[in-house]
Amino acid sequence: MEETVSDAYGEPISAGATPHAGELTVQFDKAVDLARIEGLLRQARERGGGSPETVSTLNLVAIFFSAAQYEKAGEALEVAGTLHPCRLIAVIADQGIEQESLTARLSVVRSGGAITMERVVLSATGRAVRHLESAMMGLLRPDLPMVVVWGGRPQGDLLRRVVESADRIVTDSGARPPSYLTETASLLAKGAPIGDLAWARIFPWQALAADTLDVPDLREHRGNIRRARVVCAGAIGAEGLLLLGWMQSRIKRLEVEIRAEGEAEQEKASASTPVPRAARLGLGHVKLLEFVSPPATFTLVREKDVLISQVKGDDDGFCAHRVRLPPEMPGRLLALELKLLSGRDELYAQAVQAAAKLLATRT
């Protein structure tokens, strides 16, 4: 059935991606031979003389629509997969290339001797993409939760089927125009267990807002929050809408406002600091959150790598909190989302519903 099996040390393969050193690759011409893939995985596990013991806590399925998308996300998947040992099945369905091909690339990642990630990269082009879904289902390790990283738009038949079978689906609303939050809201309304990297991106803002209202002298303002305002960098982004949606879902009759101001930070050159810095302020990311509980106004603002909350109208105004933003590493947000392996994050679902309503009123 398969055409070639090779130790592809740097040898290019048909999906257009460059294989990693030590990968085993196999090409199929008609359908995927799952037993062959499992056999090669066994071979990969036994290579290098290390222990073939494998630790797994989940099936991590990542779905992409081009090899370039996968290559971009590869490092994050590997880091998150190392923090949450797993079988990673990356599926690349590239219908943009007409020629039919179907390839599996297999490798393992070791940590401290044991194998903490088995990686299967299934790439298909042309009509061969129709085999990917069943191949992916056949490669899942039994009894482990299945979390899908969805690299495409939140719509389509494939996503609908994935929603039915996955314990969790992780998407990134921040990577798309915010209008797609409406689609996400409708999936959530049907009970889809969706997680969102854009949601994880605003965790520090949420924590700081809550912490500020926990400052003993400021607790009196908890019951009277009337208005909230978010400013995004460069353009209105999903993060800002989610932040406002979250506040609206938590506080009754809250008037909200969102706008864009200034520009996003340029891509940083990779600075060689001993500790990584916080992620840059990207397009649509939150740069300011303000909420008013008369007479006090709470302003949370990002200054470089630090979030600062200030209060005015209560006494003479003071700085309630300053927190450093977490150091950014590839896969950090995904690893945060993978802490929840099944079910819905109700708080997120409510925030998305509120954000979708907000979007509807703006249009």
Partner 1 sequence: MPYAPEHDEIPNPLRPGLRADSAPEPCSVVIFGGSGDLAHRKLVPALYNLAVGAHLPAAFGIVGVSKSAYSHEEFAQEMREAVGRFSRTRPVDPEIWQDFAAGIRYVAGSFDDQETFARLRAQLDELDKVRSTRGNRLYYFATPPSTFPTLLKQLKAAGMINPPLDTRFTRVVIEKPFGRDLASARALNRLVLETCDERQVFRIDHYLGKETVQNLLVFRFANSIFEPIWNRRYVDQVQITAGEELGMEGRGRYYEEAGILRDMIQNHVLQLVCLSALEPPVSFDADSVRDEKIKVLRAIETFDTPEQVARNVVLGQYAPGSVAGADVPGYQQEKEVAKGSRTPTFAAIRLNIRSWRWDGVPFYVRSGKRMPKRATEIAIHFRPVPHPLFGEGTTQPNVLIIRVQPEEGIALRFSAKVPGERFRPRTVSMDFRYGTTFAAASPEAYERLLLDAMRGDQTLFTRKDEVEAAWRIVGNILKVTESSEFPPPHPYPAGTWGPAAADELLAQDRRVWRRL
Q: How far is Cα 321 from Cα 98, in angstroms, rounded to an integer? A: 56
Residues 313 and 205 sit within 8 Å (Cβ to Cβ): no
Looking at 10, 49, 96, 112, which residue binds partner 1 (CB under 8 A)? 112
Q: Nearer to partner 1 by C-beta: 27 or 350?
A: 350
Q: Which is nearer to partner 1, 283 or 323 (CB)?
A: 323
Identify the CA nearest to 242 among candidates 188, 278, 296, 303: 188
Strands of the sheet containing 24-28, edge to edge, are 2-7, 24-28, 101-111, 114-125, 86-94, 58-64, 146-150, 168-171, 194-196
> Which position among 59, 107, 173, 206 is part of the footprint of partner 1 (CB under 8 A)?
206
Q: Is 232 in the site for partner 1 (CB under 8 A)?
A: no
Q: Which is nearer to partner 1, 166 or 336 (CB)?
A: 336
Q: What residues from 274 to 313 belong to the interface with partner 1 (CB under 8 A)?
A: 274-275, 306, 308
Q: How far is the CB of 214 from partner 1 (least distance, A)?
A: 5
Determine if 59 is a binding residue for partner 1 (CB under 8 A): no
Strands (E), 11-127: 24-28, 58-64, 86-94, 101-111, 114-125
**Closest CB to partner 1 among residues 146, 251:** 251
What are the tokens at 76?
């994050």
Residue 203 binding partner 1, by CB under 8 A: yes
* Least Cβ distance, residue 276 to partner 1 (angstroms): 9
φ, ψ for residue 345, nearest 5 deg: -95, 100
- Cβ proximity to partner 1, 27 vs 82, nearer residue: 82
Query: In this chain, which stretch among 15-23, 66-74, 138-146, 201-209 interacts with partner 1, using CB under 8 A?
Result: 201-209
Interface with partner 1, residue 214, by CB under 8 A? yes
Backbone angles phi, psi at 335, to 5 degrees: -60, -35
- Would you count residue 85 as binding partner 1 (CB under 8 A)? yes
When binding is defined by CB under 8 A, the residue of 321, 353, 354, 358 that contacts partner 1 is 321
Nearer to partner 1 by Cβ, of 220 and 261: the residue is: 220
CA 221, 303, 208, 206 torsion-angle sign: positive
Does position 340 interact with partner 1 (CB under 8 A)? The reply is: yes
Binding flag, residue 139, partner 1 (CB under 8 A): no
Q: How far is the CB of 229 from partner 1 (least distance, A)?
A: 16
140 binds partner 1 (CB under 8 A): no
In this chain, which of 103, 116, 173, 184 binds partner 1, going by CB under 8 A?
A: 116
To partner 1, the closest distance from the beta carbon of 337 in angstroms equals 9
Within the chain, how many helices (H) and strands (E) appear? 10, 15
CB contact at 8 A, 170 and 177: no
Longest dimension (CA), the chain: 77
The pairing of strands 168-171 and 86-94 is: unpaired
Name which of 24 and 202 has its Cβ closer to partner 1.
Answer: 202
Residue 204 as a binder of partner 1 (CB under 8 A): the answer is yes
| CA–CA gap between residue 227 and residue 93 (Å, rounded) | 45
Which amino acid, one-letter code, is at 20? H
- Output DSSP code: residue 240: H
Half-sphere exposure (CA, 13 Å, Cβ side) for 358?
A: 31
Contact residues toward partner 1 (CB under 8 A) are 53, 55, 57, 82-83, 85, 111-114, 116, 203-204, 206-211, 213-217, 219, 222-223, 225, 247, 250-251, 273-275, 306, 308, 318-327, 336, 339-340, 345-347
